[in-house]
């Protein structure tokens, strides 16, 4: 004991080190002063880890069961808990009814474009795009070739699709400009038609057009995944589809 302070003994009296490092101050484990000293060292080190705090602490103080004491105090540090908290996992919503209820093929259809791909036409190469229609229930896919990414090309591809696969109850797609333009043009064309004929047509074949929200791409994951599968062998496939369409 020196000056009313209990210090640690040892065999380092001949070491060329400071007196505080040679004979550390003995501190009890469960003490408010001990807690304040450890917290101060932890903050001065920029919220360092347990081993770093222990090494600086033992330069002057010797705490009984220091390892578990420092671990306990650091576990209650609010700043460290905020910085080292694991990232929360996103909670996925339930699948829509069109994905889980059985229905005829392509009753609920998702649409997206992919490409371009270089297609040989005669002696020249031209760009062609693929319009992918995927069934939301069975995940079956139907691919049509589009010359351009414009409204007319999409309407033509949609007409070929419905002519071969039958009426569609609901179409889901992202907010591509060609899709939005196609819906606007179709609505204008319907308004110019005879209302009786329109009513009769809607009773037979009524298509609900639904767009996904603008920012997130994950809303169209059901058809984006199909596009990823098709891309593995699309060069020869799209060229064959284009030749058959001609």
Q: Tell me, what CATH number does 231's domain have? A: 3.30.420.10
* 66 and 140 belong to one structural domain: no
Which of residues 31, 53, 83 is at a domain's end?
A: 83
* 235 and 114 belong to one structural domain: yes
* 226 and 120 belong to one structural domain: yes
> In angstroms, rounded to a whole number, what is the distance separating the alpha carbons of residues 69 and 141?
62
> What is the reported pLDDT for 73?
92
Residue 92 lies in a domain: no
> In angstroms, rounded to a whole number, what is the distance separating the alpha carbons of residues 123 and 83?
62
> What is the reported pLDDT for 198?
45
- How many CB atoms neighbour CB 94 within 10 A? 7
Q: Which domain holds residue 172?
A: 97-245
pLDDT tens digit at each of 246 positions of the chain: 666 778 877 777 778 877 777 888 888 988 899 999 999 999 999 998 899 999 999 888 999 889 999 999 999 999 988 888 888 887 877 888 888 888 888 888 888 887 777 877 778 888 888 888 988 888 888 988 888 777 778 778 888 888 888 878 888 877 766 667 666 665 665 556 555 554 454 455 567 777 776 655 566 677 777 777 777 655 555 555 555 555
Which of residues 34, 55, 83 is at a domain's end?
A: 83
* 39 and 76 belong to one structural domain: yes
Which pairs count as long-range contacts for 211-215, CB under 8 Å and 24+ apart, including other chains?
211/172, 211/173, 211/174, 211/175, 211/179, 211/180, 212/172, 212/173, 212/174, 212/175, 214/175
* 109 and 228 belong to one structural domain: yes
Cα–Cα–Cα angle for 215, 99, 159, rounded to 5 degrees? 80
Which tokens go with 235? 């060069």
* 234 and 118 belong to one structural domain: yes
- How many CB atoms neighbour CB 130 within 10 A? 23
Residue 120 lies in a domain: yes
> What is the reported pLDDT for 85?
84
Residue 230 lies in a domain: yes
Whether the Cβ atoms of residue 131 and residue 111 lie closer than 8 Å to each other = yes
Residue 148 lies in a domain: yes
Residue 78 lies in a domain: yes
* 58 and 126 belong to one structural domain: no
Residue 11 lies in a domain: no
* 143 and 212 belong to one structural domain: yes
* 188 and 127 belong to one structural domain: yes
> In angstroms, rounded to a whole number, what is the distance separating the alpha carbons of residues 74 and 47?
9
Residue 205 lies in a domain: yes
* 74 and 117 belong to one structural domain: no
> In angstroms, rounded to a whole number, what is the distance separating the alpha carbons of residues 62 and 38?
11
* 172 and 232 belong to one structural domain: yes
Residue 13 lies in a domain: no
Whether the Cβ atoms of residue 116 and residue 145 lie closer than 8 Å to each other = no
Its sign, for the CA torsion 107, 113, 114, 115, is: positive
Which pTM value belongs to this model? 0.52
**Diameter over CA atoms, the chain:** 108
Number of domains comprising the chain:
2
User: Which of 226, 116, 213, 114 lies closest to 173 in space, CA to CA?
Assistant: 213
* 51 and 111 belong to one structural domain: no
Cα–Cα–Cα angle for 178, 183, 231, rounded to 5 degrees? 40
């Amino acid at each position: 004991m020196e000056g009313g302070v209990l210090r640690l003994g040892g065999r380092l009296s001949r070491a060329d080190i400071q007196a505080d490092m040679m004979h550390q101050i003995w501190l009890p484990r469960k003490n408010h002063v001990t807690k304040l000293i450890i917290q101060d060292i932890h903050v001065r080190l920029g919220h360092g880890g347990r081993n770093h705090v222990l090494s600086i602490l033992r330069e002057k103080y010797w705490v009984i069961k220091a390892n578990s004491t420092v671990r306990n105090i650091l576990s209650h540090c609010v700043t460290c808990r905020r910085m080292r908290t694991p990232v929360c996992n996103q909670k996925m919503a339930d699948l829509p009814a069109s994905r889980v209820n059985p229905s005829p093929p392509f009753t609920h259809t998702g649409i997206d474009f992919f490409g371009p791909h270089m297609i040989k036409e005669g002696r020249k190469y031209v760009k062609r795009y693929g319009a992918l229609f995927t069934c939301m229930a069975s995940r079956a896919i139907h691919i049509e070739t589009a010359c351009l990414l414009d409204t007319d090309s999409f309407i033509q591809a949609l007409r070929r699709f419905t002519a071969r696969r039958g009426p569609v109850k609901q179409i889901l797609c992202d907010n591509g400009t060609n899709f939005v333009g196609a819906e606007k043009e179709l609505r204008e064309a319907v308004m110019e038609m005879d209302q009786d004929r329109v009513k009769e047509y809607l009773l037979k074949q009524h298509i609900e057009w639904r767009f996904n929200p603008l920012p997130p791409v994950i809303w169209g994951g059901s058809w984006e995944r199909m596009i990823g599968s098709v891309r593995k062998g699309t060069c020869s496939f799209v060229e064959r589809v284009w030749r058959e369409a001609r």
